[in-house]
Structure 1
Amino acid sequence: MHHSHILLPDDDLRSAEMRVIALLRAWNTNLDAQTAMWEDLQTSLGAARARSCLQAFEQMLQLLAKHSWRPLTIMPMGTKGMTPDEAALARFVMASTEQRRDTALAEARFLVSPSALLPLLCAASRFGLPLLCEECRARILTPSVKTPLN
């Protein structure tokens, strides 16, 4: 029996959430995709920040691999839309980063066993912070559109 995945629209995602999903997909694809993502992060964040971001990301993945209730469904790169697992993880990372602890812990309960909740929360916030900074920097550096006054 073949199961098809139900994909959620990804049109309303913030850039930091899209980055979380892109990293998940790259790490699930192959070494070339991981290298490309690393180079992109390095260019955007700088070497030191990119390194600490990826270390936290890998720690988060290790915790998920060890304590997850079930394997997460991660789609291949280039897929339009996202799985409920990808959406939940992106929401969790952003809630952790933005210090919405109750929301983050509620999301994490569906991802991992109780013993991994706090370590996962910590890793996710360290992973998400550089991505959130990247999003803020992009907003500031994007030239605003000026409209003539009537």
Structure 2
Amino acid sequence: MADLSPIEANLILYMRLWCDGSDGQTAVWSDLSQALGPQRGRSALGAFEMLFNLCARHGRRSLMRHAVGCCCVGADEACFANFVMTAATGERDDAMLIATLLVRADVAPVVTSVAVQVGLALHQMELRPQIATTDLSQRPSILH
């Protein structure tokens, strides 16, 4: 986990927590709402829930995962994180190709669209503290 980007690590952690049941799902909601606010957090949670449900319902097989506290990353976890990150960076064709490793080919476009939403929400979470701590006095005074 230490070798992953913060967004990829969060995706894997959220996946693990989500699979652990209602307490884990509450922890995911708490983290999203705290970082994004209640409205954006609920939207991100809905997208994550839809993504995970689509993967579970239309998956080629059950996604395997490690325990929440484990520092290892399994192949399915790495594939899931890579898929969401690829989708969120606009590489739709590559993301759909990766999606076919997780779900049936006919579901790949839908899953990819939802993965974009999840990935962008996690990118917003990562950027939010940087925006809040930016010193606005360092901005140039010239406006165009």
What is the TM-score of this pair, normalised by structure 1?
A: 0.83
Larger RCO: Structure 1 or Structure 2 (Cα < 8 Å, ≥ 6 residues apart)? Answer: 1
Q: Is the 8 A contact 2:2 2:71 kept in 1?
A: no
Q: Is the 8 A contact 1:95 1:101 kept in 2?
A: yes
Which residue matches 1:14?
A: 5
- TM-superposed CA distance for 1:22, in Å, is 1.1
Amino acid at match of 1:94: M
- TM-superposed CA distance for 1:135, in Å, is 1.4
Does residue 1:72 correspond to 2:63, yes or no? yes
Q: Distance in 2 between matches of 1:80 and 1:139?
A: 26
Match of 1:43 among 31, 34, 37: 34
Runs of 4+ aligned residues of structure 1 deviating over 6 Å after TM superposition are none
Structure 1 unpaired stretches of 5+: 1-9, 144-150
Percent of aligned positions with the same letter in both sequences? 37
Q: Distance in 2 between matches of 1:70 and 1:142?
A: 43
Match of 2:54 among 63, 78, 93: 63
SS at match of 1:44: helix
Report the RMSD for the aligned CA atoms in angstroms.
Answer: 1.7
Q: Deviations over 1:107-143 (max 9, x none)?
A: 1111111110100001111111110111123445568
How many pairs align?
135
Q: Which has the higher helix share?
A: 2
